[in-house]
Structure 1
Amino acid sequence: MTRKYHSVALIPEGVWGQTVASLIFDPKRHPDYSKVPEKLTMYSWRDHRAKDLERIINDPSAYQDPFSPEFNPEENFAYFNWGNPDIKADIKVYSPLSTIERHIDRISEEAGLGEKYRAILQAVYDSDLIILAPRSSELMEYVSALNKIYSSAAMQDKSPDVLCLTKGIFVDDEGTAKVPYEIIEEGLPKRMRKAIMVGPNISSEIRLYLPATSVVATKHSPRRRFLRELSELLSGYHFRPVWSKHPNALGWATAVKNVVAIGVGIGNSYIEDTLKNMTELSEEQIKNGSYNSNLLGEIVTLGMRDGWHAFNHLLNRHGRWSKVRPEEYLLSFGALGDTITTADSENSRNVRFGYHFGKELIKNPHADREALIEDVVQEKIKQAVEGIPTARDLQKLIKTHKLQVPFFEGVSEMLFGDLTPDVFVEKMFETAGRYETYDDRILSRLFGRRDVK
């Protein structure tokens, strides 16, 4: 491996962003730590989060393990011990109230940046790789700020690579859907190389040094060189990325799998409620998900099928993106792998949200859904649940384009309409007694069947 990246910026810090940064800077992960970049800068949009990170950097003993019972995600924001003395990189954190250097202030005025984004400029100023990891609802805002920064005269000679971690779907007023790679490709200067990184993985398992992989994808040419450089940066003892040339398809798949995960969580709450009066089962047996396998398999299958149908109807067959074959979508790490990983994990915030939301909905079927969503997120999850805005955007697409995606429609109706978990499960079984439907071309490509026309 040759050193490609010298300075990495994480914009903004967050659970997944810090996890990916730890893949690069954690000395326990690399066979040759001398090849790791020399500098990490992080941007935090909230000053109290930045202060918490700075406290850890200056005093490693203040670090609180996020897996300990005492860890409070509302008060602690360091998901990795950035003060670890074994880390040789220079680490700095910037926030809107950070002291701004004079030349940064001058460039900020030229670019027309507000106070919030001056700190972003300071964080990315010397970087040759930007890890872009905002919530889906904030991606366009960050892309707009970075575009202003790198379009300014003082930054014309800088062209850092961008690795986007955001998952989500973006739907405009006309019902046109876009995914994160399209947002960064269209919104950032052409001279910057862009890629996305998607699952299958759960961040908490990566932080425990358990084996994992991800997919890095780009359409930038020459693609192989760029993907190799990113892979060498991220690879270590416990983590290996794979490559893809379909960032848009993977962006779609990894966004809608969060809605599948919410459906799984709601299904788990339904199973638990159904079993609670069965005295031969202990409370522990009921709660640990031992009896959700049948429903899990059905939900994942329906979600995968709806995901492909919507993708193919909205984006693939109209030629907006390079054509993606069914098997390239359905059998990919980013679609099949990430859906199974997320749906079958109790550590998935989308599954946990669906479970707690379903429990409350079973108790009170007439609850105000928006208020219930807010309560569950704030009291039970305490992190962003990306499947919620994705389900809302899918609901718009279903209505605008009259999509036949009954699973996604059902999850959206439970979240934002008046559907209840028991009716949702009943509707999923309405296909009983019919032939399973599929695209015959999938069979011919996957299994080489000559009898399929």
Structure 2
Amino acid sequence: MGAGSWGTAFAKVLAEAGTEVTIWARRPEVAKAIDDEHRNPFYLPNAQLPPVRGTADHRVALDGADLVVLAVPSQSLRGNLAAWRDAIADDSTLLSLAKGVETGTLLRMSEVIAEVTGAASDRIAVLSGPNLAGEIAERQPAATVIACTDADRAAAVQKACATGYFRPYTNTDVIGAEIGGACKNVIALASGIAAGMGLGDNTSASIITRGLAEIIRLGVALGAQPATLAGLAGIGDLVATCTSELSRNRSFGYVLGKGGSMLEAQAATSGQVAEGVKSCTSVRALAAAHGVEMPLTNAVHQVCHSGLSVGEAVENLLGRRVKPE
């Protein structure tokens, strides 16, 4: 459910793992291209898809589906689910690819899914890891984590998407997988800003490491396992998103670091606002609600939403009192 670059790439993985796949697209022209040509020229133009169906009718896509993959942006998930819920089978597995914290409610995506659909938590799984869509579409080796409180259901999803190039692991720590996925987008914006300012590898490594410390603090406060955030769904996803030029969040931050405006950064990322721009405010609020200090996240929020210059943000971070690691 969702035909963006990652939704399309993951549909390709599922199909190549032997799973029958239908892709729902919001725009009929995208659905038609997928159905007729087995291509998505709008979001993943260089990838030839295996035989999959495309449709713009959610009822057609959801009819008889055992696995419903939710691949729409985090802030639009609630509205989409409200339109889809009556067509979702009672025992289907709901797998979230969205990475974020909902604005206003401060709910994780699995919590939004449960609230809107009424599904029990053991029906809801999340997928998170270093999964850049373009590389996976090219069958470059990658690994991911499928987290679900029901280990058997996680294993069923694992089987549905395991291929020779895509290796899924299972986990029962849904909170850890979701917090790692939501926060890494924000830290990637900081990493991109630093790169745009011309700062080097020492700075990049420091941002990634201290960013991970922030993520672990918040995750643990919410009940996550530190080991999850030391794995693929945490440091793995963080490194990929902070260092790759394929990362929309890093690319967005890079333009800001070069002195560009928010509109210029959006233009440089195919007219789409990076997920971390929206998530930084809700992640920051969630951290405040739990008494967790997240200085990098706060700095990104101030740059994106409060008019703070990138130079001032760096000065503020470096001017913080020194303390033990």
> TM-score of the superposition, structure 1-length normalised?
0.66
SS of the residue 1:360 aligns to: coil
Equivalent-residue separation in structure 1 for 2:267 and 2:35 (angstroms) = 25
Partner of 1:187: 116
SS of the residue 2:198 aligns to: helix
SS of the residue 1:381 aligns to: coil
Distance 1:79 1:390, change over 3 A: farther
1:431 positional shift: 4.9
- Equivalent residue for 2:195, pick from 242, 260, 268: 268
Partner of 1:338: 237
Equivalent-residue separation in structure 2 for 1:347 and 1:127 (angstroms) = 32
Partner of 2:324: 436
Whether the aligned pair in 2 keeps the contact of 1:15 and 1:79 (CA below 8 Å) is no
Distance 1:128 1:400, change over 3 A: closer
| Residue 162 (1) aligns with residue 94 (2) | yes
| Residue 141 (1) aligns with residue 79 (2) | yes
Partner of 2:106: 177
1:50-449 matches, within 5 Å, as 50-57=31-38, 75=42, 78=45, 80-82=47-49, 87=50, 89=51, 91-95=52-56, 119-150=57-88, 159-172=91-104, 177-190=106-119, 193-220=123-150, 223=151, 225-271=152-198, 292-313=200-221, 315-316=222-223, 324-325=224-225, 327-361=226-260, 372-397=261-286, 403-431=292-320, 434-437=322-325
Higher Rg of the two aligned structures: 1
Out of 229-238 and 402-411, give the one that drifted further.
402-411
SS of the residue 2:154 aligns to: helix
Equivalent-residue separation in structure 2 for 1:162 and 1:401 (angstroms) = 28
| Residue 41 (1) aligns with residue 22 (2) | yes
Whether the aligned pair in 2 keeps the contact of 1:42 and 1:123 (CA below 8 Å) is yes
Aligned length in residues: 324
1:399 positional shift: 6.2
Whether the aligned pair in 2 keeps the contact of 1:161 and 1:194 (CA below 8 Å) is yes
Equivalent-residue separation in structure 2 for 1:402 and 1:163 (angstroms) = 30
Equivalent-residue separation in structure 2 for 1:202 and 1:77 (angstroms) = 12
SS of the residue 2:281 aligns to: helix
Counterpart code for 1:215? V
Out of 340-349 and 396-405, give the one that drifted further.
396-405
1:37-85 per-residue CA deviation (whole Å, 9 max, x = no partner) reads 3x3222111122223323423xxxxx58xxxxxxxx7x56556323xxx
1:208 positional shift: 1.9
Equivalent-residue separation in structure 1 for 2:266 and 2:102 (angstroms) = 21
Counterpart code for 1:347? L
Whether the aligned pair in 2 keeps the contact of 1:395 and 1:409 (CA below 8 Å) is yes
SS of the residue 2:188 aligns to: helix
Whether the aligned pair in 2 keeps the contact of 1:53 and 1:77 (CA below 8 Å) is no
Equivalent-residue separation in structure 2 for 1:189 and 1:330 (angstroms) = 28
Equivalent-residue separation in structure 1 for 2:155 and 2:131 (angstroms) = 20
Equivalent-residue separation in structure 2 for 1:77 and 1:308 (angstroms) = 33
Counterpart code for 2:294? V
> TM-score of the superposition, structure 2-length normalised?
0.90
Give the alignment's Cα RMSD to 1 decimal.
Answer: 2.5
Equivalent-residue separation in structure 1 for 2:163 and 2:289 (angstroms) = 45
1:156-215 per-residue CA deviation (whole Å, 9 max, x = no partner) reads xx532222111100143xxx5211122223332437822110012212111222110000
Give unpaired runs (5+ residues) of structure 2.
none
What is the aligned-residue identity percentage?
A: 23
Equivalent-residue separation in structure 2 for 1:241 and 1:305 (angstroms) = 25
